[in-house]
Structure 1
Amino acid sequence: MSREQLAVQQARKVFMTGRSKPLDYRIKQLRNLSRFVTEKEKDIIDALKKDLHKSENATQLFEILGLVGEINLAISKLAEWAAPRPVNKNLLTISDEVFIHPEPLGVVLIIGAWNYPIAITLLPLVGAIAAGNAAVVKPSEVSSHTAKVMELLTHYLDPEMYPVVTGGVPETQELLKQRFDHIFYTGNSTVGKLVMEAAARHLTPVTLELGGKSPCYIDKNCDIKIACRRITWGKFVNCGQTCIAPDYILCEPSIQNTVINEIQKCIKEFYTKDPKSFADYGRIINQRHFKRIIALIEDNTVAIGGDSDESECYIAPTVLKDVKSQSKVMQEEIFGPILPIVPVNDLKEAIQFINEREKPLALYVFSSSNKVIKQIISETSSGALVANDCLVHFTISDLPFGGVGNSGTGCYHGKYTFDQLSHLRSCLIKKLNMEMVNQMRYPPHSAKKLHWARILLLKQINVARWRRMAQVVMLAALATFVVKRFMR
């Protein structure tokens, strides 16, 4: 039996004992996860420095803060999330208990990504633990130093319920042969299709957090200086290796040079004249990706940057101008510090350009006009839409984060992760009395029974409003009793 098969079987065996169902157990595991992040903070920082050249502050800002916030939110809200959820009823079921009962799915496989290897791997784990599941954690082998730190999770979490399986493609393939109750994968669409194909063999539901080319439209009637400042930050953070980074800019030819000039100023402000020696500018994860990204620059006009150093996997912040739609850089997700500018004549052409391609994970629009923003919301589709900023929607736990179509399926963050990794079980509990009410559904059927069925089944009752009405009736009855009893 392989190591991977053994880990899955052990997790399922322990899950079946009901160990993870009590909320106290889940909260203890969440607190232990928080303790892992706190106590191994230095190891995490050192590993990310080696893997991606991330500075300590960048690791705190983009990896740790959000994760700790999600853990704290899950701990504080778990009782509320896990409680039965009343729903509206019809007249036929007015005296019944009708509710949604969240229950654990079982054993979840979490396949992490390398670009934000701590946050992206452990954020789904927060929801898996909160929902009462067992989970097999598979960190990305590409960020190898961080994967090594991730192995220490078993010293903090229940090792039987939350095993960590490290390794490369063979280990992942072996895991995908096993039966899971849910698979949560973050990465590219090519591997996402393989994950979905493997899951289909067991009819296993999946959450696929993929990516794609996230467009960024700049309206000529906006504050271009501020727009470029926010786009520069969103594009070049983590050396462009962010799934929701602006992938390319759409703007009218009349403002293209202004956009380039403003971005150039921001690059100098953020990363100095020499980004290569600046602590807060990252590196490409490995030479394979370095060569892939460099090849995307070919046959394009470089407006900013373009220099590189293969020995350090360094690529300068780079902007390409007058990029054609058929250019190689427009055929795949860049996932690096290259920002193409594609000129379009107007908003209509920009919308058409976006809609002719796969639905992106994020769509950005910069405009001072609410009409323009609303038009893009109305006439396009994407996992998320952000107006006048980049990336920041990821920080909001009350917003579902996920793609649509080629950019992913399913969503997570906060309560959405809990619900994504739970079975929302429909429950109805009826008493064995009031049988006369049920006569209308029993044969023989008649017009009179159909008449009553329409009344009882089509009239929806708002539970909260019904309770308020019941309270009013009870108070009125009490008042009547008091008046009759004491006012004789």
Structure 2
Amino acid sequence: MDQIDNIRERLRENRNYHAVGGRYSIEQRRALLRRLLAELQANREKIMAALYIDLHKSEFEASVTEFIPLLEALRFMIRKLPRLAKTRRAAVSPMNFPARGRLVPEPYGVVLVCATWNYPLLLALEPVIGAVAAGNSVVLKLSDKSKATMNLIAELLERVSAFGQVVTVGDEFSFEEILKERFDYIFYTGSEYGGRKVLAAAAPHLTPVTLELGGKSPCIVCADADLAVAAKRIVWGKFTNAGQTCVAPDYLLVHRSVKSRLLDEMRKRVREFYGEKPLENPDYAHIVNRTHYDRLCKLLGDRPAERDPDRLCIAPAIVDEVTPDDPLMAGEIFGPILPVLEFSENEEALDLVRKLPKPLALYCFGGDREMRRRVTEETSSGAVSFNDVVMHFVNPAMPFGGVGNSGMGRYHGKYSFETFTHYKPVMVQSGRIDWPVRYPPFREWQKKLARLLSR
């Protein structure tokens, strides 16, 4: 049996297991998560090496942006799973009396998780944690980029997965081919283009999906912002991982009165963080492959930005005097290029944000209470963060996800469990008391009662 046949056979076994009411116990799920936690800790150095090979991530950056959040997600789920998986009581209406109601959490069945390459460890395994915790069988489609990390993930999951609960798929199936298989749920992280493919593949079977996409996340800097804090946080959030972050600020909207001071402060922070020669800095990441590097260079055109085609590296580029019709504003940049637009009135900034597709995140520095209200209530985005960027992503108490072109669905913390769970309503009606009011023929007293209840 070749590898493709082996994968299909494991898929069939998992489908059949769930089809006949098979369930992984809470302790089986926790045991798998504990084994994964132990394997990650035991292989930390290998993981750091793989992330460096794929994206030139420094050990510190890889630790704080991927490894530590993943460990925290595992510990949270191991600790909270017994409570999350409990049947919940549900109220019943007077029309159901006497009855008892409850919500029974059940897994969807066989779940497809499509991994992405920019944070290959965290964004591959955090959805898997939620899907396993909810009792599903999982097929993890590995990205065809970030190969060193993807191969290591496959090795780790092969060691920890009991009962064939988690199956990894690499080059045996293309992205398009794996979507032809039937799944009970699909979780996809990637581009809007890929998200549309997932929706098209899910439609014939009405398969539910979560799409974690991206978009042009704006960052507004108001006239009263603390420019030193804003510059430091924007530069960090934008140029970490060489801008290859779905929630990184994709463009700046800066009040005209503070623009020159903010840009001076930002350029100072770039030098402070990455030195005079960022391309030689061991803490600065590289572009994932030649295709993405060439795309970014084309976007930059002849604008000044140091580049190294051999190492696929582009220095942080803050591009001033950009207009809304500039090619840099046509789509998500996903690289170390930050266009800067200016505004004179807050309304101008809000108008531009509303004209573009709904972003995954919206950031705002400064602004009075009214401006914060307007940003929150008069725009639509996956999330809003004031006086910081990116950090909302690591808060497990809040869901993470997009809206419109930036995606659908949510996960993180308890929301990861809920995403991969169908809460089945179960109602137990009394067999002894049978109110006659609902049965025909409908007499005058029943009609009077209906009119009374309709007031």
Q: Normalising to structure 2: TM-score of the pair?
A: 0.95
SS in 2 for 1:140: coil
Instruction: Give the match for residue 406 of structure 1.
Output: 405
Instruction: Give the match for residue 163 of structure 1.
Output: 167
Instruction: Give the match for residue 421 of structure 1.
Output: 420
1:30 partner letter: L
1:161-219 Cα distance to aligned partner (Å, 9 max, x none): 21111128x52222111100000000000011011101112211110000000000100
| Cα distance in structure 2, aligned partners of 1:156 and 1:428 | 38
Instruction: Give the match for residue 272 of structure 1.
Output: 275
- Aligned 1:178-327 pairs, distance under 5 A: 178-298=181-301, 302=304, 306-327=305-326
SS in 2 for 1:163: strand
| Cα distance in structure 2, aligned partners of 1:68 and 1:81 | 19
* Structure 2: gaps spanning 5 or more residues: none
SS in 2 for 1:372: helix
1:304-331 Cα distance to aligned partner (Å, 9 max, x none): xx11101001100110001011111111
| Cα distance in structure 2, aligned partners of 1:154 and 1:452 | 63
| Cα distance in structure 2, aligned partners of 1:344 and 1:368 | 14
Query: Which of 26, 32, 37 matches 2:35?
Result: 32
1:184 partner letter: F
| CA distance 1:235–1:336, change in 2 (3 Å) | same
1:94, distance to aligned residue in structure 2 (A): 4.1
Query: Which of 141, 144, 149 matches 2:147?
Result: 144
Moved more, 150-159 or 389-398: 150-159
Contact 1:240 1:337 in 2 (8 A): yes
Residue 104 in structure 1 maps to residue 103 in structure 2:
no
Question: What count of residue pairs does the alignment treat as equivalent?
Answer: 451
Residue 444 in structure 1 maps to residue 441 in structure 2:
yes
Query: Which of 46, 54, 64 matches 1:43?
Result: 46
1:345, distance to aligned residue in structure 2 (A): 2.4
Residue 154 in structure 1 maps to residue 151 in structure 2:
no
Residue 126 in structure 1 maps to residue 123 in structure 2:
no
| CA distance 1:255–1:41, change in 2 (3 Å) | same
Contact 1:186 1:208 in 2 (8 A): yes
Q: Normalising to structure 1: TM-score of the pair?
A: 0.89
1:17, distance to aligned residue in structure 2 (A): 5.9
1:439 partner letter: P
Instruction: Give the match for residue 349 of structure 2.
Output: 350
SS in 1 for 2:194: helix
1:49-88 Cα distance to aligned partner (Å, 9 max, x none): 0000011111111111111111111111112111111223
SS in 1 for 2:169: coil
| Cα distance in structure 1, aligned partners of 2:298 and 2:399 | 35
| Cα distance in structure 2, aligned partners of 1:85 and 1:145 | 43
1:311-354 Cα distance to aligned partner (Å, 9 max, x none): 00110011000101111111111100010001222210111101
Moved more, 14-23 or 92-101: 14-23
Residue 65 in structure 1 maps to residue 68 in structure 2:
yes
- Aligned 1:349-368 pairs, distance under 5 A: 349-368=348-367
Instruction: Give the match for residue 135 of structure 1.
Output: 138
SS in 2 for 1:251: strand
| Cα distance in structure 2, aligned partners of 1:248 and 1:74 | 35
SS in 2 for 1:263: helix
Query: Which of 179, 191, 195 matches 1:176?
Result: 179
| Cα distance in structure 1, aligned partners of 2:408 and 2:92 | 31
1:450, distance to aligned residue in structure 2 (A): 4.5
- Aligned 1:374-393 pairs, distance under 5 A: 374-393=373-392
| Cα distance in structure 1, aligned partners of 2:286 and 2:21 | 45
* Structure 1: gaps spanning 5 or more residues: 460-488
| CA distance 1:332–1:368, change in 2 (3 Å) | closer
Contact 2:111 2:186 in 1 (8 A): yes
| CA distance 1:243–1:448, change in 2 (3 Å) | same
1:265, distance to aligned residue in structure 2 (A): 1.1
Contact 1:440 1:450 in 2 (8 A): no
Contact 1:139 1:166 in 2 (8 A): yes
| Cα distance in structure 1, aligned partners of 2:60 and 2:311 | 21
1:227 partner letter: A
1:430 partner letter: Q
| Cα distance in structure 2, aligned partners of 1:375 and 1:42 | 46
| Cα distance in structure 1, aligned partners of 2:349 and 2:98 | 55
1:415 partner letter: K
1:317 partner letter: P
1:158 partner letter: A
Identity %: 37
2:369 partner letter: N
1:89, distance to aligned residue in structure 2 (A): 2.3
| CA distance 1:109–1:454, change in 2 (3 Å) | farther
SS in 1 for 2:35: helix
SS in 2 for 1:164: strand
| Cα distance in structure 2, aligned partners of 1:46 and 1:20 | 37
